[in-house]
A and B are shown apart, each in its own frame.
Chain A
Amino acid sequence: MTSLLIAALVLIVLGLAYQQGAARSRALAGAGRLHSRPRYHGALVALWAAVPLLFVLALWGLVSGALEDWYIQPVVQANVASGDSLATALQRVQGLASGFGVSGQPAPWEIDAAQTLRAFQRQLQFSAIALGAILAIGGLLIARRRVSARLRARNHVEAAVRAALILCSVIAIFTTLGIVLSLLFETLRFFSFVSPAEFFFGTVWQPGYASTGSEATGGYGMVPLLVGTLMIASIAMLVAIPVGLMTAIWLTQYASRRVRTLLKPMIEILAGIPTIVYGFFALVTVGPFLSDLGDVIGLNITATSALTAGLVMGIMIIPFVSSLSDDIIRQVPSAMRDGSLGLGATKSETIRMVIFPAALPGIVGAILLAVSRAIGETMIVVLAAGNAPILRFNPFEATSSFTVTIVAALTGDSDFASPQSLVAFALGLTLFVLTLMLNIGALAVVRRYREQYE
């Protein structure tokens, strides 16, 4: 109800201010040429009125809860019986104040406290709205007085628009900052339990089930996870690079245009499928198939293994490699291709000896991006790799990875402040740094490659 009222208030202020500004500037129009059209004057006045109003309302929304607590806490504290929880008492009072009521008969002091709280809430709300309205009207009046034929209203409005646009672009930076800071902060907390040396170089992963506050138990060495991650990613690349690259080569160099326009989107479907789908496919179809296949050829392959996860991840990455390589191969100037064909080279000789070497830097960049993708891939590995964080190099057995362990650490029952949970952030930071380096390297290589042929 209140929020509807406030929304209505904002809308009314906006409409009124716009109308005032526009009307006033229209009235001036007779006197001489206006620098800006009336609607810009209207928008400018509306901005002057709405910005302070919204600012006050936002402030109120942010701090009112804390203010209310601060106001009522002493009252509750004075009355609450020792031994009873202060938080529960506070909640009861707030429940009474909100009008929803509490179960059981409220104590007289609770009703009193609730009434004071309610009164305070009303005052706060009223003063927020009043302050907002005063500022809005003030802004409106000031802006309205400033309306004149020579006022460069359009430029002001455009500056405001530009400021809003800049604000939006900066969000991306804040996201990165948020990622880096939160990962760093939680990682430091983790390192207060476990030494970085143990984390980075330890070869045993066995987080104990210690409760909060106690010393970390068990091993937190990430080497087994790193090995698992790299093993799965390598298998994935062994599938994706040859298939993806050859697909790209065939589609760009051999396939007729009709086949190409038909097949390319069909293969790219693979890229749009959610990873959870691949994960489940790996778990119920590919895993058992590989295990049966292992039985036939006399290999002991576990259904959930590095091989299963890597194979399916490779399939997922095929279109990623093929469409990136496709773009890169097509950027190789056709003069190069013609030069080779003109010398009498066959198509495959041209591709292998001229086009491929020319495209190599770009392809390397694409592959780096694909590797970074493989390392950060989560759901396939969670479902199909078996979550066995043991240091071993056999791809036919279950393994684990950074991402699996992050999911396991944060979806378990451990307290957020325990090392068992915090380790997720240390792993996340490692993963972030690893992929960041790969991405920066890849982007640099690809950019240099593009410049070479522009």
Chain B
Amino acid sequence: MSAPSLDPEAQANSLRRAQVRRSLTRRNRAEARFRALGMVSALAALGFVAILFGNILSRGIPAFWQYSAVLNVTFDPAVVRVPERPVQGADQSDADYQTALLGWQRRFSMVNWNTLISRAVLDAAPAGVTADQRAVLSVIDSGARFVLRDLVLQDPSLIGQTVPVRLLASADADNWAKGKLDRSLPDERQQLSRPARDLIDAMTTQGSLQRSFAWHLFTNVDSRASPASAGLAGAFVGSLYMMLVVILASVPIGVSSAIYLEEFAPRNRFTDVIEVNINNLAAVPSIVFGLLGAAVFINLFRLPLSAPLVGGLVLTLMTLPTIIIATRSALRAVPPSLRQAALGIGASRTQMVFHHVLPVTYPGILTASILGVAQALGETAPLLLIGMNAFVANIPATPLEQSAALPVQIYLWQGNENRNFFEARTFAAIIVLLALMISLNALAIWLRGRLERKA
């Protein structure tokens, strides 16, 4: 301690100390407030993630289990009356044969499969429960008749036999059994008639109507007539084709263009223009790419509407800037010493890039590409503009056929009139989409970690 003197300097010092000390309470309180505000913000952001995922999972997961019944269906020959399958005659043109075949298949569709279904349901129901055919049929998904039809089409020898078949409960029945419908509503406001509701309750208590994992969500295509059996298979394949187009087009083009700009391009106006252009393109709203697709690919080049090829091309143009920018920053991270070393031993510029620089940046480029593809996978708006919002109920065989895509399927399902049933199903589709995207991201992270350790 300095000697307690009364010289003016010491006085001034202690006065200042007192002033500082006096300001401390207020300032520390402000500090705590500010800090709390920051933490609250971060927690809020985190809370949004939690709420979003909690909401999606809690509402989507139940949709992965649906009610279905294993019914003993008797293919009564009296009901299933169909001719032999036509054989192509020697003089018959392919087109004529196709017509004949279609006609034959149409005969199958005209069989009254519903009779078989309602018989089988009543067989399975507990004794004493009665219901008219309409009520019985409202319990089973209307797609069931196609299941039976396809079974017989595949194996006509089934006619006359009794076989166990798993049939899905209808959307309404599923909702009722899951307790998603208000049981207190009067009859006239219920979607299902009273006998149908009683039948469902009886069958669920008895155990013939059970919940099981809805594999058909992944194997079936979309369906409007029979919502319970609607699935994502078409959307999967459509998205897969689009991702293939994106990978095949945007990765090579993006990486080449990044290599040129980073390693070869002279610093001049032209390169500046390309640079500014790429940066701006990265921030152009995705819907503008959709407009480009609609005007150029669809209207000018007359490419087919709703085709994964066109969707893929649009998404390619959209992801290109992302991949270019990410690849460039990966290239920029390569130390100049490596380049000088390569040039120093007499490699040409091209050799330096392809033999020395690219192998080092390969993990970064791979990660950038996967992230670009993941981004493209979730994009919806541009696809709507090139007609991909069309209802498509088959799996596209080629990228030029009409097709759905995962995010567009979500858009279509959320707009379905049967909100009660499709809300959960839309969440389920969202879970599938997010799971795919998260696995892509995880793959990117894992690959980067693995490859960087090796390098």
Contacts and interface: CB of A to CB of B under 8 A. Distances in A.
Interface of A: 95, 99-104, 154-155, 158, 161-162, 164-166, 168-173, 175-176, 178-179, 182-183, 185-186, 242-247, 249-251, 253-255, 263, 266-267, 269-270, 272-281, 283-285, 315, 318-319, 322, 344, 346-349, 351-352, 369, 372-373, 375-379, 382-383, 403, 406-407, 410-411, 416, 424-425, 428, 431-432, 435-436, 439-440, 442-443
A347 B39 CA distance: 14
B55 A281 contact: yes
Nearest to A435: B285
Given A176-B281, A267-B46, 12 more contacts: A100-B93, A168-B253, A183-B292, A267-B42, A267-B49, A274-B433, A275-B381, A281-B52, A285-B55, A347-B35, A428-B287, A428-B291
B26 to A, nearest CB: 10
A107 to B, nearest CB: 14
A275 B252 CA distance: 27
A166 B377 CA distance: 28
B163 interface: no
B124 to A, nearest CB: 35
Interface string B21-42: 0000001101101110111111
Contacts of B300: 182
B305 to A, nearest CB: 11
Which 6 residue pairs across A and B have the least CB separation, nearest first? A376-B285, A101-B93, A274-B378, A250-B38, A246-B41, A348-B34
Among A242, A253, A432, A440, find the residue whose CB has the most chain B CB atoms closer than 10 A. A432
17 contacts: A102-B95, A165-B259, A168-B260, A173-B274, A242-B41, A246-B41, A266-B46, A270-B48, A270-B49, A274-B433, A276-B407, A277-B378, A277-B433, A285-B55, A352-B34, A378-B285, A411-B389
Range, interface on chain B:
35 or more
Contact of B274 (A170, A249, A379): A170
A95 B273 contact: no
A178 B430 CA distance: 33
B34 A351 contact: yes
Interface in B75-129: 93-96, 99
Given A247-B38, A348-B35, A183 B253 contact: no
B238 to A, nearest CB: 15
B340 interface: no
Residue of B52, B317, B426, B427 most packed against chain A (CB within 10 A): B52
Contacts of A243: 41, 44-45
Given A172-B278, A269-B49, A378-B285, A346 B414 contact: no
B257 interface: yes
B286 interface: yes
Contact of A348 (B31, B52, B299, B437): B31
Given A276-B380, A277-B433, A254 B38 contact: yes
Given A162-B260, A411-B389, A280 B284 contact: no
Contacts of B264: 162, 165
A17 B204 CA distance: 72
A165 to B, nearest CB: 4
Contacts of A346: 27-28, 30-31
Interface string B288-311: 111110111001100000000000
Contacts, number: 273
Contacts of B45: 243-244, 247, 267, 270, 318-319, 322
B360 interface: no
Contact of A273 (B274, B279, B320, B378): B378
B288 A431 contact: yes
Contacts of B285: 372-373, 375-378, 403, 431-432, 435
Contact of A95 (B30, B56, B95, B426): B95
Contacts of B260: 162, 165-166, 168-169
A439 B27 CA distance: 39
Contacts of B259: 165
B37 to A, nearest CB: 6
A403 B385 CA distance: 11
Given A246-B41, A277-B433, A171 B381 contact: no
Contacts of A173: 273-274, 277
Given A101-B94, A277-B433, A318-B48, A410 B385 contact: yes
A272 B426 CA distance: 19
B173 interface: no
A411 B385 contact: yes
B280 A176 contact: yes
B411 interface: yes
B384 interface: yes
Nearest to B287: A378
B1 interface: no
B441 interface: yes
A274 B288 contact: no
B379 interface: yes
B277 A176 contact: yes
Contacts of A383: 411, 414
Contacts of A104: 96
Contacts of B380: 274-276, 378-379
Contacts of A165: 256-257, 259-260, 264
Contacts of A100: 93-95
Given A175-B317, A348-B35, A101 B95 contact: yes
Contact of A425 (B27, B44, B95, B295): B295
B243 interface: no
Interface in B403-450: 407, 410-411, 414, 423, 426-427, 430, 433-434, 437, 441
Nearest to A280: B414
A267 B433 CA distance: 19
Given A274-B379, A346-B27, A349-B27, A263 B42 contact: yes
Contacts of A281: 52, 55-56
Contacts of B385: 406-407, 410-411, 424
B374 interface: yes
A443 B441 CA distance: 27
Contact of A178 (B41, B256, B292): B292
B321 interface: yes
Contacts of A318: 45, 48
